[in-house]
Amino acid sequence: MATLAGAQTTPYAGANAWRVILEWLTTVDHKKIGIMYLWTAGAFGLVGMAFSLVMRTELAQTGTIISAETYNSIFTMHGSVMIFLFLLPVGAAFMNYSMPLQIGALDMAFPRINALSFWIFLFGGVLLTLSFAAEGGTASAGWTAYPPVTLDTASNAEPPGAGMDMWLVGVILLGQASIFGSINFLVTIFKMRAPGMTMWRLPLFTWTTLVTGLLILLSTPVLAAALVLGFIDRNGAEGAFFDPAAGGQPLLWQNLFWFYSHPAVYIMILPAMGIVSDVFGVFTRRPVFGYRSMVLALVAIGLLGFIVWAHHMFTTGGVFLPFFMGATFLIAVPTGVKMFNWIATMWRGSNIFPTAMLFSVGFLMLFLIGGITGVFHAAVPVDFALHDTYFVVGHFHYTMSIAATFGFLAGCYYWFPKMFGKFMNEGLGKLHFWLLFIGVNLVFFTQLMLGLDGMPRRINDYADNPGWELMNMLITIGAFVSAAGMMVFLYNVFYSLKWGERAGSDPWEGTTLEWATTSPPPAHNFDSLPEIRSERPLFDLRFGERLQDDPHYHVNGNGHGNGAGGVKTPSASAREEG
């Protein structure tokens, strides 16, 4: 953390290194906490990527290099790390950093709880990582950990060891961190908005934070329940909850798990959607098309997200298929609305394409494939064929994994100047984009085809069927190309921290309030706030006068303000007293 502390211009100029470290360790500043989330999650993301390279090396050809146990442990940790230690906390990083700035708040509603949730997250993550040292190794039943194979029961031939318990406890902790975080986000958005910032003037990223917070709050306790039951099952109850030999119900776990984990895929993708919405708004100089329908679509996705969990269980024979099929199909509609709105935002726009924008366009292209392949899975009979094959691996990577990652990378390029006062290097950024875009398509499109041909997921070796070795080799090549892209990114981060071009307070001609303060912002965020009359207060400031006669330009914003026009904002110092 010393490097990033060094890059940050702290108010305590001349403070010695220890002082700086101590300051970061004890900080309750949402910006610092956000940055710490970002660094930790980024590091875990690299670890997760390393695991994927191990898998791809194993699968490049038939035959085995590592043992089945090792492979199972690696794919489990790849999934668990990527989801619980990379995607979820990266989302939390941006929500922490940007949301309070976007609504003109001084900090989160509960700054200390905010710090607590970061440290719980870190502890949970370390626990998961340490399980490599446990006897019997890590958990090895996938990130979904379906019992009874996770249990220590008589009928299970190779019961997992302490690593499984560490996984359960680790994920409970991570869930707890999420819950704390979500309450904080919600209260902050509801209670800490600057005067004039009505709900219909929230930037779209803040809206996604709100819906994400609700999803986390309502679903994570259910996961926690499942994890606690699982822990009891392994330590004393001998499977009474989930092992039928002891009177339990294995499908109960799946229901509880997916009741969380389906909303969780939206918890991961929604913040990314929020980022690209903001990015499109800035780099097209247009209002994000259909602001209200964007918000309604978000809410619809959030609501529908709670009634589709059993689409992960179509082949279990234990769910009422037509209902979950119908609800799943329906989700395609609000998702499509968002897609069309984004495209319409660029339509007739005055578009420029810095790296953040490239990644946002990449997001659209990847998410499009993810969404369409999702419709295949929604059709139950087709899912009977495709479930648990590489098709599903391709599908979920296209959506929640790689599309979300693209959204977050857009966020990195977009907010890096705000966080560190310097631009990321654009040349390296473009190289990063193209390597990653080509690499991931090679990986995941080929996985779709492999899945159609019937290759099951979670296997460490495969039959020598025609075409399979070639496809697997292509996937492996794609994985290494993607990894090369990420190395460029890593280099770019450190390069730019040190030698990056200085960025002023508003380097992109931003539209939302985070650009109304210095880069990096002072500890108290704002010295003064502009008048807030719309969801784009800075745009109004910059172009409002020129657009006065444009009939399409709404002075009160595209959510059509809540009646009254802008409220004059009192100075920051006045707000600090209040």
Partner 1 sequence: MTALQRLWRTRIGRLTLVIGLVAMAQFALSGLLSAQVALPDAVTEQGEDIRALYLVIFAVGVIVFFIVEAMIIWVVFRYKRRSDDELPTQIGHNTTAEILWTGIPLVIVIVLFFASFFVLQDVQAGADEDDEVTVVDVQGRQWAWAFNYGTPLGTSLAEAVSNDPAETEIHLEDPSLVVPFMTLKLGIEHMRVVARTGDVVIVERAVNGTVPIRHSAGTEVMRSFNGTDTVAEGRLQAADNTPVLTVPIGQMIRFNIASADVLHAFYTPQFLTKLDAVPGRVQTLWVRITDPGVYESQCAEFCGRDHARMIYSVRALAQDEYDDWFENKAGSAPEPVEGDFGGEQEVEQEEGAVGNPVNGQNLFFAMGCNVCHGDQGEGLVGPTIAMTVVPLYRVVEQYREPLEAMTAFPPDQISDEEIADIYAWLQTVERPPVALEIPSKLAELIEAGG
Q: By CB under 8 A, what part of segment 108-147 binds partner 1?
A: 141-142, 146-147
Does residue 228 interact with partner 1 by CB under 8 A?
no
Other C-beta atoms within 10 Å of 324: how many? Answer: 20
Round to whole Å and give the CA distance between 473 and 468: 8
Q: How many helices (H) and strands (E) does the chain have?
A: 19, 0
Q: Within 13 Å and on the Cβ side, how many CA atoms surround 164? A: 25
402 binds, among partner 1, ligand HEM, Cu ion, none (CB under 5 to 8 A by kind): ligand HEM
319-325 contacts: CB < 8 A, separation 24 or more? 321/380, 325/378, 325/379, 325/380
Round to whole Å and give the CA distance between 182 and 209: 9
Q: Pick from 246, 307, 428, 567 the residue near partner 1 by CB under 8 A.
A: 246
CB of 110 or CB of 146, closer to partner 1 = 146
CB of 341 or CB of 405, closer to ligand HEM = 405
Does residue 240 interact with partner 1 by CB under 8 A?
yes
Q: Pick from 30, 78, 193, 262 the residue near Cu ion by CB under 5 A.
A: 262
Other C-beta atoms within 10 Å of 152: how many? Answer: 17
Q: Are 435 and 485 in contact (CB under 8 A)?
A: yes
Query: Which DSSP symbol is given to 532?
Result: B
Q: Smallest distance, Å, CB 380 to Cu ion?
A: 14
Q: Are 114 and 28 in contact (CB under 8 A)?
A: yes
Round to whole Å and give the CA distance between 173 and 413: 30
Instruction: Name which of residues 381 to 400 contact partner 1 (CB under 8 A).
Output: 381-382, 384-385, 387-389
Round to whole Å and give the CA distance between 338 and 296: 10
Does residue 209 interact with ligand HEM by CB under 6 A?
no
- Please give the single-letter amino acid code of residue 37: Y
Size of the site for ligand HEM (CB under 6 A): 26
Q: Burial code of 187-212, b = ≥16 C-beta within 10 A, e = fewer?
A: ebbeebbbebbbebbbbbbbbbbbbb
Q: Are 284 and 322 in contact (CB under 8 A)?
A: no
Beta carbons within 8 Å of 424's beta carbon, 6+ residues apart = 355, 412, 413, 416, 417, 492, 493, 496, 500
Instruction: Name which of residues 267 to 326 contact Cu ion (CB under 5 A).
Output: none
CB of 70 or CB of 129, closer to partner 1 = 70
Q: Smallest distance, Å, CB 326 to partner 1?
A: 6
Round to whole Å and give the CA distance between 255 and 457: 21
Q: Smallest distance, Å, CB 578 to partner 1?
A: 33
The packing angle between helices 30-59 and 88-102, to 10°, is 150
Q: Burial code of 295-321, b = ≥16 C-beta within 10 A, e = fewer?
A: bebbebbbebbebbbbbbbbeeeebeb
The angle subtended at Cα 457 by Cα 454 and Cα 458, nearest 5°, is 145
Does residue 79 interact with ligand HEM by CB under 6 A?
yes
Does residue 154 interact with partner 1 by CB under 8 A?
yes
Does residue 93 interact with partner 1 by CB under 8 A?
no
- Among the listed ranges 34-42, 81-89, 153-161, 312-320, the one in contact with ligand HEM (CB under 6 A) is 81-89
143 binds, among ligand HEM, partner 1, Cu ion, none (CB under 5 to 8 A by kind): ligand HEM
Q: Smallest distance, Å, CB 106 to partner 1?
A: 30
Does residue 81 interact with partner 1 by CB under 8 A?
no
Q: Smallest distance, Å, CB 575 to ligand HEM?
A: 38
Instruction: Name which of residues 452 to 481 contact partner 1 (CB under 8 A).
Output: 452-454, 456, 458-464, 466-467, 470-471, 474
479 binds, among Cu ion, partner 1, ligand HEM, none (CB under 5 to 8 A by kind): ligand HEM
Q: Is 2 exposed, middle or buried (0-12, 13-18, 19+ CB in 10 A)?
A: exposed
CB of 159 or CB of 221, closer to partner 1 = 159
Q: Pick from 102, 220, 482, 512 the residue near ligand HEM by CB under 6 A.
A: 482
Q: Report the largest interatomic distance among the alpha carbons of the chain, rounded to a whole angstrom.
A: 78
- Among the listed ranges 214-222, 223-231, 313-321, 489-497, the one in contact with partner 1 (CB under 8 A) is 313-321
Does residue 344 interact with partner 1 by CB under 8 A?
yes
- Among the listed ranges 69-77, 255-263, 462-470, 541-549, the one in contact with Cu ion (CB under 5 A) is 255-263
Q: Pick from 98, 140, 150, 405 the residue near ligand HEM by CB under 6 A.
A: 405
473 binds, among Cu ion, ligand HEM, partner 1, none (CB under 5 to 8 A by kind): none
CB of 168 or CB of 357, closer to partner 1 = 357
Question: In the complex, which residues of this chain contact Cu ion (CB under 5 A)?
Answer: 262
Q: What residues make contact with ligand HEM under the rule CB under 6 A?
A: 49, 52, 55-56, 75-76, 78-79, 82-83, 86-87, 142-144, 393, 397, 401-402, 405, 440, 443, 457-458, 479, 482
